[in-house]
Amino acid sequence: MADGEALVVEAEAPAPAVLEIFLAFSRVGLTSFGGGLSGWMMREFVQRRRWVDEGEFLSGLALAQALPGVNVVNLSIWIGFRLRGGPGALAGALGMIVPPMLLAVALVALSGTLLQSPLAYKVLAGVAAAALGLSLQMGLRAARRAARGVVPVAVMAITFLAIFQAGLPLLWVVAAMAPVSIAWSAWRLRRGA
């Protein structure tokens, strides 16, 4: 594959038009609240639209999380690029960012007093709980797919313990564990496993 060339997606649906990519990401961005977006994106782009398969999606999610910036925007760029190259990447990013941003600005302008209501806090707490459930489901699915052998399980366990138990900075832990994980994956690929 040449640099800048989009990878052909092996899925049931044909690659969408750039406008369709923008509209699909806009829909996800406008209908997702309080987190859990990666789970929503998996449902939309893997299960519903079949634009990428689950393995590709999880690889893209891992890459998106390793890069600086907002994970779901990085993932939008990655999926858009896989589908339609540079124009698809731009459409995915703009679709994920611009419509929700415009809606948020409009809501803030219209509802300054509404957000001071105790009911608003209760509604937002419920939305946050649902988003946490989506994130947990996505994390468990990714862990189950990645946990193929002792080394990947050890990398996951060490990463979890270092961040959540020892309180080490995420960047340091990723910098230490990524080379181990990459070396393990490269070794497995050379072996043909």
Residue 139 has pLDDT above 90, yes or no: no
pLDDT digits (tens, 9 = 90+) for 53-62: 998 998 899 8
Provide φ and ψ at 151, rounded to 5°.
-65, -50
What pLDDT, on a 0 to 100 scale, did the predictor assign at position 149?
A: 84
Q: What angle do CA 83, 23, 130 make, to 5 degrees?
A: 100
Higher pLDDT residue, 100 or 19?
19
Question: Under a CB-based contact definition with an 8 Å cutoff, are residues 48 and 78 in contact?
Answer: no
Name all contacts of 83-87 with Cβ < 8 Å and 24+ positions apart.
83/6, 83/9, 83/15, 83/16, 83/21, 83/51, 83/52, 84/6, 84/15, 84/16, 84/17, 84/18, 84/21, 85/4, 85/5, 85/6, 86/4, 87/18
pLDDT digits (tens, 9 = 90+) for 28-81: 999 876 567 888 899 999 999 999 999 899 889 988 988 888 999 999 999 999
23, 95, 141, 163 from 55: Cα distances, Å: 24, 23, 11, 26
What pLDDT, on a 0 to 100 scale, did the predictor assign at position 128?
A: 77
% pLDDT > 70, the chain: 89
pLDDT band at 10 (very low <50, low <70, confident <90, very high): very low
List, in order, residues 6 or more apart from 181 with CB less than 8 Å away: 152, 155
Q: Where are the domains of the chain?
A: 1-112
Q: Provide the H-helix boundaries in 67-117.
A: 71-110
